[in-house]
Amino acid sequence: MKIIVAIKQVPDRDAQVRIDAHAKWIEESDLQYALNESDAYALEEALQLKEKHGGEVVVVSAGPERVGQTIREDLGLGQTGVIVAELLNLPHATLILHVEKTDSGLTVKRELEEGWFQTIELPTPAVLTIQSGGNKLRYATLMGIKRAKTKEVRRVTAAELGVEAAPVVLLDRVALPQKQKSTQILPGTPKEAAAALVEKLKFEVRVL
Amino acid sequence: MSGVLVIFEDRAGKISRISWEAVAAGHKLAASLGLPVTAAVIGAATESLAAETASKITGKVIRVEHPLLGQYTADGFTIALHQLIQSESPAYVVFPHTYQVRDYAPALAARLNEVLISDVISIADGPVFTRQLLQGRLSGNYRHTGSGPCLVSVQAGAFRADAAATGSAEISVFTPTIEPAQIRTKPGEPFRGSSQTIDLGSAQLIVSVGRGIKEAENIPLVQALATALGAELAASRPICDNGWLPMERQVGSSGQSVAPKLYLAVGISGAIQHLVGMKASQCVVAINKDPDAPIFEIADYGIVGDLFEVVPALTEAIKAAKQ
């Protein structure tokens, strides 16, 4: 089975986000990037399928050398899998926790809302988007990291692919989110803040 | 092109709550642009859904009906709605942002050479659509510049369902052309994951833990706080994904929705998938080291600090207060 995994880099979870001078995007120069966490689950699922059934795993990532438009747009919308399926005219299933290969294609377990699930059968080739939590992520071994350096990395430009699409949606302006409630921050040492919170829980919230 | 088309979704034969929120958003958009509102209900038998919808819509209701739409499939819904949009030529199409919409609406948009503006939290004149970026740490204003219809999905809880209008809309039927072979996936019946033994929904006090706890070995620290307070212990998704707490303790869009008197969030940054499950709480307290964490946007009280210092101090202070 040949499996393509689409991944992307996103600003690190703990990175401080600052708006750029034009309020069009964030300051990227000093940002730390990391693999998008849900992409790690997709990669893990692909590796497990390969280990079980043989084949090849190819990882693709669209974006700039680091900074640029594609990743920006991708960051927000998170619809890549379903759009790819439509453009390639392939069947798809989203929020998948488990994949099983069958004689005629795949049987997948899909997450629904509020603790419900569903099994879906679909023929291959197919596009799946993987939900977090379906498998256990592995940690890179020293051997694996060494071997990774010998793997082929191919770069393809949008021009080589003949892609030139005019955007249909424009990100006009970004801002830090507005507060929905006025939060009372309880200052002081951990002990002082804890004591202040206990006062609030006792006399304002009345749960103690 | 004219009009605002709102796509309804049903749960167990009833219109879902978030659909009423989507129609409130649709009415708001329509009012600012002077456009009529049309609602679409989809299925194999939609008569009662249409009747329920017609009482709350000012414009008209379309029953998108076909035997192959009885059970949801991305293929069936994409084909049916593509045909409906071509027939109605709406300027705007508004969806509730649900797992189901996420499954087919991006494909529908791509088929129309458009992009779904997803998970919108507010709509301003222009129209300008605001949505969250980077796990809620940033908000972005979007404009539609495409030549086709503008597709928008709205976040749960962002628009007030009771702001939906009352009316007695005219009902019509639209029968799409769908061949069985066009449905490429075979969906099974939905089933429950595990028997949910813990009903967080009725808990009055909840202490909830997020990825700030770092390791499974540190969970007892938060358990001790919950015990001292007499609260149920809950968690955000990453904690349950890692198996540090069972899935039935998960709060959020994929877990349980809760509305306790007190929700004490420990080391939870406040991703929107978590917030939708707990923002109905009467009082939210957040303990987090990051003062910019989105959880502070909805918290009543906050402590910015190291949870490994704050939580034990709080546990001791609560124990002392209860004596």
Do A199 and A135 belong together in one domain?
A: no
Is the pLDDT assigned to residue A188 strictly greater than 90?
Answer: yes
Do A91 and A38 belong together in one domain?
A: yes
User: Residue A94 contacts by C-beta under 8 Å, 6 or more apart in sequence?
Assistant: A81, A82, A110, A128, A129, B74, B99, B102, B103
Q: How confident is the model at residue B124 (pLDDT cuts 50, 70, 90)?
A: very high
- Give the rounded percent of residues in chain A with a pLDDT score beyond 70: 92
Q: Which domain holds residue B279?
A: 200-322
Query: B262 and A123 in contact by Cβ < 8 A?
Result: no
Q: How confident is the model at residue A68 (pLDDT cuts 50, 70, 90)?
A: very low
Q: Which of B229, B276, B268, B272 shows the shortest CA–CA distance to B245?
A: B268
Do B63 and B144 belong together in one domain?
A: yes
Q: How confident is the model at residue B186 (pLDDT cuts 50, 70, 90)?
A: very high
Q: How confident is the model at residue A169 (pLDDT cuts 50, 70, 90)?
A: confident
Query: B141 and A173 in contact by Cβ < 8 A?
Result: yes
Is the pLDDT assigned to residue A75 strictly greater than 70?
Answer: no
Using one digit for the tens of pLDDT, what is the confidence trace for B22-34? 999 999 999 999 9
Is the pLDDT assigned to residue A76 strictly greater than 90?
Answer: no
Query: B99 and A111 in contact by Cβ < 8 A?
Result: yes
Name the DSSP letter for residue B16: -
Do B51 and B105 belong together in one domain?
A: yes
Can you give the pTM of this predicted structure? Answer: 0.85
Read off the tokens for A77: 């919308």
Using one digit for the tens of pLDDT, what is the confidence trace for B276-311? 899 889 999 999 999 989 999 899 999 999 999 999
Is the pLDDT assigned to residue B166 strictly greater than 80?
Answer: no
Determine how β-strand A169-175 pairs with β-strand B138-144.
antiparallel
The pLDDT, as a whole number, for residue B164 is: 56
- Candidates B102, B114, B133; nearest CB to A174: B133
Query: B253 and A113 in contact by Cβ < 8 A?
Result: yes
Determine how β-strand A92-101 pairs with β-strand A105-111.
antiparallel
Find out whether B53 and B163 touch, Cβ atoms under 8 Å. no
- Candidates B106, B128, B136; nearest CB to A82: B106
Q: Which of A28, A79, A119, A130 to mutate to test the interface with B (most CBs of B within 10 A)?
A: A79
Distance (Å, rounded) from C-alpha B255 to C-alpha B37?
33
Q: Which residues of B255-294 are buried (b: 16+ CB within 10 A; e: fewer)?
A: bbbbbbebbbbbbbbbbbbbbbbbbebebbbbbbbbeebb
Residue A182, amino acid? S
Do A203 and A100 belong together in one domain?
A: no
B111 burial level (CB within 10 Å; 0-12, 13-18, 19+): middle
Query: A208 and B186 in contact by Cβ < 8 A?
Result: no
| Residue A65 C-alpha, separation from nearest chain B C-alpha, in angstroms | 20
> How many Cβ atoms sit within 10 Å of the Cβ of residue A87?
12
Q: Which of B144, B184, B206 to mutate to test the interface with A (most CBs of A within 10 A)?
A: B184
Find out whether B256 and B200 touch, Cβ atoms under 8 Å. yes
Is the pLDDT assigned to residue A69 strictly greater than 70?
Answer: no
Using one digit for the tens of pLDDT, what is the confidence trace for B125-159? 999 999 988 877 888 999 999 899 999 999 988 88
| pLDDT (average), residues B28-45 | 94
Q: Which of B18, B138, B248, B282 to mutate to test the interface with A (most CBs of A within 10 A)?
A: B138
Is B193 domain-assigned?
no
| Residue B120 C-alpha, separation from nearest chain A C-alpha, in angstroms | 11
The pLDDT, as a whole number, for residue B19 is: 93
Q: What is the CATH number of the domain that holds B272?
A: 3.40.50.1220
Do B274 and B310 belong together in one domain?
A: yes
Query: B98 and A113 in contact by Cβ < 8 A?
Result: yes
Using one digit for the tens of pLDDT, what is the confidence trace for B44-93? 999 999 999 998 887 899 999 999 999 999 999 999 999 999 999 999 99
* Orientation angle between helical segments A80-88 and B99-111, nearest 10 degrees: 40
Q: What is the CATH number of the domain that holds B19?
A: 3.40.50.620
- Please state the length of chain A: 208
Place of tokens 């709605």: B81
Size of the A and B interface in Cβ pairs below 8 Å: 252
Q: Following CA atoms B229, B231, B236, B241 in sequence, which dihedral angle do they give, to the nearest 10 degrees?
A: 110
Find out whether A181 and B297 touch, Cβ atoms under 8 Å. yes
Find out whether B266 and B287 touch, Cβ atoms under 8 Å. yes
Read off the tokens for B174: 């639209």
Is the pLDDT assigned to residue B110 strictly greater than 80?
Answer: yes
Do B15 and B161 belong together in one domain?
A: yes
- Give the rounded percent of residues in chain A with a pLDDT score beyond 90: 42
Query: B256 and A79 in contact by Cβ < 8 A?
Result: no
The pLDDT, as a whole number, for residue A47 is: 93
Query: A116 and B192 in contact by Cβ < 8 A?
Result: yes
Name the DSSP letter for residue B213: G
> How many Cβ atoms sit within 10 Å of the Cβ of residue A124?
13
Report the mean per-residue pLDDT for chain A: 85
Using one digit for the tens of pLDDT, what is the confidence trace for B208-252? 999 999 999 999 999 999 999 999 999 999 999 888 998 889 999
Q: Which of B149, B266, B245, B323 shows the shortest CA–CA distance to A194?
A: B266
The pLDDT, as a whole number, for residue B287 is: 97
Read off the tokens for B271: 């991703």
Q: Which of B35, B46, B34, B36 shows the shortest CA–CA distance to B8?
A: B46
The pLDDT, as a whole number, for residue A116 is: 85
DSSP three-state, residue B201? helix
| pLDDT (average), residues A47-61 | 92
| Residue B286 C-alpha, separation from nearest chain A C-alpha, in angstroms | 9
Q: How confident is the model at residue A73 (pLDDT cuts 50, 70, 90)?
A: very low
Do A136 and A185 belong together in one domain?
A: no
Q: Which domain holds residue A204?
A: 181-208
Q: Looking at this predicted complex, what is its ipTM?
A: 0.86
Read off the tokens for B110: 């791509």
Query: Domain total for chain B?
Result: 2
Do A137 and A45 belong together in one domain?
A: yes
Do B314 and B261 belong together in one domain?
A: yes
Q: Which of B50, B49, B105, B97 shows the shortest CA–CA distance to B77?
A: B105
Name the DSSP letter for residue A134: S
Query: Domain total for chain A?
Result: 2
Find out whether A68 and A43 touch, Cβ atoms under 8 Å. no
Distance (Å, rounded) from C-alpha B29 to C-alpha A107?
41
Distance (Å, rounded) from C-alpha B219 to C-alpha A79?
34
Find out whether B152 and B120 touch, Cβ atoms under 8 Å. yes
Do B204 and B174 belong together in one domain?
A: no
Do A75 and A106 belong together in one domain?
A: yes
Do B129 and B204 belong together in one domain?
A: no
Do A169 and A185 belong together in one domain?
A: no
Do B207 and B163 belong together in one domain?
A: no
Identify all chain A residues contacting B143, using CB atoms and an 8 Å cutoff. Answer: 169-170, 172
| pLDDT (average), residues A4-13 | 84
Q: Which of A38, A43, A44 shows the shortest CA–CA distance to A10?
A: A38
Query: A207 and B204 in contact by Cβ < 8 A?
Result: yes
| pLDDT (average), residues A129-144 | 83
Is B248 domain-assigned?
yes
Quick one: closest CA in B to A106, which residue? B185
Identify all chain B residues contacting A121, using CB atoms and an 8 Å cutoff. Answer: 185-186, 188
Do A73 and A141 belong together in one domain?
A: yes
Is B152 domain-assigned?
yes
| pLDDT (average), residues A147-176 | 83
Q: How confident is the model at residue A74 (pLDDT cuts 50, 70, 90)?
A: very low
- Candidates A94, A111, A169; nearest CB to B142: A169
Is the pLDDT assigned to residue A14 strictly greater than 50?
Answer: yes
The pLDDT, as a whole number, for residue A77 is: 61
Compare A31 and A50 and report the one with higher pLDDT: A50
Query: B111 and A86 in contact by Cβ < 8 A?
Result: yes
